[in-house]
Amino acid sequence: MKRLLSISTLYPAPGRAGFGRFVSRQMEALAARGDWEVTVVNPIGKPPVPMQRYAALEQIPEVAQQGEVTVHHPRFMLVPGVSGPINPFLIASAVLPLARKLHAETPFDMVDAQFFYPDGPAAAKVARALGLPLAIKARGSDIHLWGEKALARRQMLAAAEQASALLSVSCALARDMVAMGMPETRISVHYTGLDRARFQPLEREAARQLISAIPAMQVWSEGRLLLCVGALLAIKGQALAIRALALLPDDVQLAIAGTGADEPVLRKLVSQLGLDARVQFLGSVEHDMLPHLLCAADAMVLPSEREGLANAWIEALACGTPVVIPDVGGAREVVQDDSAGRIVARTPEAIAQGVAELLANPPGQADVAANAERFSWDANAAALAEIYTKAAEKH
């Protein structure tokens, strides 16, 4: 069995259970195969002075066992809004002593980073110090956002040059990586996984009645339902979905699942447009409830400014719910025909038109779900194991 040291700044922990759940599912699926033992280092950034919004981090233990994966949570100093360009250095400084200790006890075969920034450059320093091969995965904003910042871009390109394997969540993102200057021959497209036992079609009306009966949700039991799933951030485009709603018939309603800094702005917009009776903010939805919520919706709308390949797209399709999304990232790799939904411009008018077409001629849930058949965590883990084994053997 080979041993992997995985560095990820996004990973579930007490107090933030939904934080990077898709990363943990990937690592757990890889560990469950039996050919790779997985140790995760999840660096926790804390400001030099106490701040209320970071108080919950105190309950995160130094080390925890999550299934077959051991997760370490070393702390590093973070200066919110300031230290971004040097976070890889701060993370590496905190992680390297722990990595040396663990490697001395039982040697690792590979180091990986689950995001290109800040994880990638930090993992590169650790891999170089331990003399191990390196793999880095790109997921979207790490390329599109940080790649536009000169210092971060230089660090990312240097890490890419060192890496034995580079991974991308979509073909479109892989092309962006090559355009940025990363070596094309080392890039493998590695699609997200899916918990197929949880995300599968449930008859829409039955799901709707189930969701509407849950006191904590109180989703409307009647009318046509649109759903937005994602962090409430400007780049996710919930404001565009709200404006699109104003252009649709009064019996169309919008439920917004997620939390984030943009919530006050979005609530104000809803009131300004007179949509208070047609928009519901659900807050953070329990993971076990999300599949039922997706099944209950007539369409999932996510007008993101940028994505690699969003897990929410795949989860919605697997539940038989078509998506209305812009032409970003791997959208065209997911929405290959009208059975999956519509790819639209990022304008309220285009979003409203795409939704109206789906509501007028809805595809069958089974036809929608067929678009997600190729996604599973088993397939994700098998592909990852093959990529990593080849990289480790070549080193």
**Per-residue pLDDT tens over the stretch 214-243:** 887 778 888 999 999 999 999 999 999 999
Give the pLDDT confidence score for residue 55 in this predicted structure: 81
- Sign of the Cα torsion 345, 266, 341, 248 reads negative
Give the pLDDT confidence score for residue 83 in this predicted structure: 87
Q: Which amino acid is at 270?
A: V
Q: Which of 308, 384, 383 is nearest to 110 (CA)?
A: 384
d(CA 278, CA 96): 51
d(CA 358, CA 283): 26
**Single pTM value for the model:** 0.88
d(CA 333, CA 371): 10
Provide the pairing of β-strand 134-138 with 165-168. parallel
d(CA 294, CA 142): 27
Give the pLDDT confidence score for residue 58 in this predicted structure: 85
Give the pLDDT confidence score for residue 48 in this predicted structure: 83
The CA angle 361-364-369, to the nearest 5 degrees, is 130
Q: What is the pLDDT along the chain (395 residues), one digit of tens a residue?
A: 999 999 999 999 887 777 888 999 999 999 999 999 999 999 998 888 888 878 878 889 999 999 999 999 999 988 888 888 899 999 999 999 999 999 999 999 999 999 999 999 999 999 999 999 999 999 988 898 899 999 999 999 999 999 999 999 999 999 999 999 999 999 999 999 999 999 999 999 999 999 998 887 778 888 999 999 999 999 999 999 999 999 999 999 999 999 888 999 999 999 999 999 999 999 988 888 999 999 999 999 999 998 989 999 999 999 999 999 999 999 999 999 999 999 999 999 999 999 999 999 999 999 999 999 999 999 999 999 999 999 998 87
**Per-residue pLDDT tens over the stretch 45-88:** 888 888 887 887 888 999 999 999 999 999 998 888 888 889 99
Radius of gyration of the chain (CA): 21
DSSP-based three-state secondary structure for 113 = strand
Asked if residue 201 has a cis previous peptide bond (ω within 30° of 0), the answer is no
The structure tokens listed for 257 are 């699942």
Q: Which amino acid is at 300?
A: M
Give the pLDDT confidence score for residue 14 in this predicted structure: 82
Do residues 362 and 201 make contact, with C-beta atoms less than 8 angstroms apart?
A: no
Backbone φ, ψ for residue 160 (5° rounding):
-65, -35
Give the pLDDT confidence score for residue 257 in this predicted structure: 94
Give the pLDDT confidence score for residue 44 in this predicted structure: 93
The domains located in the chain, with CATH, are 2-193+376-394 (3.40.50.2000), 204-372 (3.40.50.2000)
Give the pLDDT confidence score for residue 59 in this predicted structure: 87
